[in-house]
Structure 1
Amino acid sequence: MIRWLNIFRGFLMGIVELVPGISSGTLALLLGIYDELLISIQKLFTKDFKKAAGFVFPLIIGMAIAILSMSSIINYFLVNHTIIIHWFFLGLVFGVIPMMFKLGNYKYEFKWIHYILIFLTIIGMYVLNNVKSEVQEVMQVDTSFSALLFLFIAGFIGSMALVLPGLSGSVILLILGAYPIVIYAISEFTSFNFEVLPILFATGFGIMFGIIFASKFIHYLLTHYTYLTYAFIIGLLLGSSFPIFHGFPTNGLQWVLSVILFLFGLGLSYSVSRRNNKETI
């Protein structure tokens, strides 16, 4: 059975993945499909393939549609309304955190080690944010074997961040130096330049294998180290504020719009996450 609604969910996940600092895993949590997503990815290579494919493939289609159709629009807002749009995304991320604490049953299960893990994860995210590279303009791409192998590895590593809420695959690709190459290749492909297809295939296969590996690993952690994993995810979500935050507003109108969008994102995220996860909290 095909989950047609997942095309829309995948579209939303694709939009947030275009923004460095935002994770599609965060949106999967918000939409209440995170656990089912991990399980479905693992079942793609079992006898339950049809059911898993009916869940996963519509998400992939939706994400692909978003990436190909919304990259220019998202780029416009990021360039021309940087601070305002990032305050909205900050609200979206912070709105998920109360639900994560409730899923982790923090009142009864969280001990000092869980809060230390949250703190250390936030510090790790701060360090990660400060070592990222600047985006450099790319005018042409290298399709040699070594370059494609690098992009495969970068896609593999970056895709594991796609599955982890709070950790952006875009930021990982940025740190590795692959982000501008991939963005350039996507832009050229949408302009019908098919010479960049090897770039997209290499990165895409890396992402595919990385997601399969990461989903198995994270599901194992959630099964055997449930509350430590929840604490780690909470730390990732809180720490994701570092790459998302792009400064304070510079004038009165910008302050008003930023605060309004932050509160709107906060309220939207909190209410949607509670509704979509109400069976588990």
Structure 2
Amino acid sequence: MIRWFNILRGFLMGIVELIPGISSGTLALLLGIYDELLISIQKLFSKDFKKAAGFVFPLIIGMAIAILSMSSVINYFLVNHTIIVHWFFLGLVFGVVPMMFKLGNYKYEFKAVHYILIVITIVGMYFLSTVNTGVQDVTEVDTSPGVLLFLFISGFLGATALVLPGLSGSVILLILGAYPVVIYSISEFTSFNFEVLPVLFATGFGIVFGVIFASKFIHYLLTHFTYLTYAFIIGLLLGSSFPIYHGMPTNTVQWILSVLLFLSGLILSYYVSTKNNKETI
């Protein structure tokens, strides 16, 4: 059975992946589909392929539609309303955190080691956010074998991050220096420049293999190291505030809009995440 509503969910996840600092894994948590997504990706290579494909492929379609149709719109808001937009997303991320503590049964299961892991992860995210995150201007692409291999590896690592809530695949691509090339190639492809197809294929295949690997690994961690994994994810979510944060508002109008959007994102995220998620991921 095809889950057609997942096209909309995938569309929202695709929009989120266009924004450096925001993770589609966070949105999957918010929508209450994170665990089912991990399991379905693994079942794509089993006898339950048809059922898993009915869940995963509509998500992929929705993400593809969002990436191809919304990249220019997202870029406009990021360039012209940077601070306001990012305060909204800060609210979305922080709103998921209480639900994660609840799922982790922190009152009974969290010990000192769990809180230490949260702090270490937050510190790691801070240093990650300071590394090579400047976007370079790209006006052409190189399709030599070495560059395509680099883009495959970048896609693999970015997709591994994509599956983890709080860790943005876009940030990983920024750090590796692949993000400007990928965004430029997407933009050129939508303008019917098919010379960028090798770049998109190389990155796309890397993303596919990365998602498959990461989903298996994270599901293993959740199964065998459940509460440590919850603590790690909480640290990722809190630490993702560093790459998302783009400064304080600079005038009265920005302050009002930023506060309102932050609170809107916080309330929306908290409400949706607690409504959609059950007691276990």
Q: When the two structures are superposed, what TM-score results if normalisation uses the length of structure 1?
A: 0.99
Are residue 20 (structure 1) and residue 6 (structure 2) matched? no
Are residue 194 (structure 1) and residue 191 (structure 2) matched? no
Q: Which amino acid aligns with 2:111?
A: K
Q: Which amino acid aligns with 1:180?
A: P
The residue that corresponds to 1:255 in the other structure is: 255
- Would you say the 8 A contact 1:25–1:34 is kept in 2? yes
- C-alpha distance after superposition, 1:209-238 (max 9, x if no partner): 000000000000000000000000000000
User: 1:133 offset after TM fit, Å?
Assistant: 3.3
The residue that corresponds to 1:205 in the other structure is: 205
The residue that corresponds to 1:67 in the other structure is: 67
SS of residue in 2 equivalent to 1:120: helix
SS of residue in 2 equivalent to 1:234: helix
CA–CA distance in 2 between the matches of 1:280 and 1:160? 22
- C-alpha distance after superposition, 1:156-197 (max 9, x if no partner): 011000000000000000000100000000000000000000
Percent same amino acid at aligned positions?
A: 84
User: 1:134 offset after TM fit, Å?
Assistant: 1.3
Please provide the CA RMSD for this pair. 0.8
- C-alpha distance after superposition, 1:89-123 (max 9, x if no partner): 00000000000000000000000000000000000
User: 1:132 offset after TM fit, Å?
Assistant: 2.6
CA–CA distance in 2 between the matches of 1:22 and 1:240? 7
SS of residue in 2 equivalent to 1:197: helix
User: 1:278 offset after TM fit, Å?
Assistant: 3.9
Gaps of 5+ in 2: none
The residue that corresponds to 2:179 in the other structure is: 179
CA–CA distance in 2 between the matches of 1:238 and 1:248? 18
Gaps of 5+ in 1: none
Alignment coverage as a number of residue pairs = 281
The residue that corresponds to 2:272 in the other structure is: 272
- Would you say the 8 A contact 2:103–2:279 is kept in 1? no
- Would you say the 8 A contact 1:132–1:171 is kept in 2? no
Q: Which amino acid aligns with 1:31?
A: L
The residue that corresponds to 2:222 in the other structure is: 222
Q: Which amino acid aligns with 1:53?
A: A
CA–CA distance in 2 between the matches of 1:150 and 1:11? 27
User: 1:280 offset after TM fit, Å?
Assistant: 4.1
User: 1:10 offset after TM fit, Å?
Assistant: 0.3
Q: When the two structures are superposed, what TM-score results if normalisation uses the length of structure 2?
A: 0.99
Q: Which amino acid aligns with 2:203?
A: T
- C-alpha distance after superposition, 1:244-266 (max 9, x if no partner): 00000001111000000000000
CA–CA distance in 2 between the matches of 1:275 and 1:196? 42
User: 1:279 offset after TM fit, Å?
Assistant: 5.1
Deviates further, 194-203 or 270-279 = 270-279
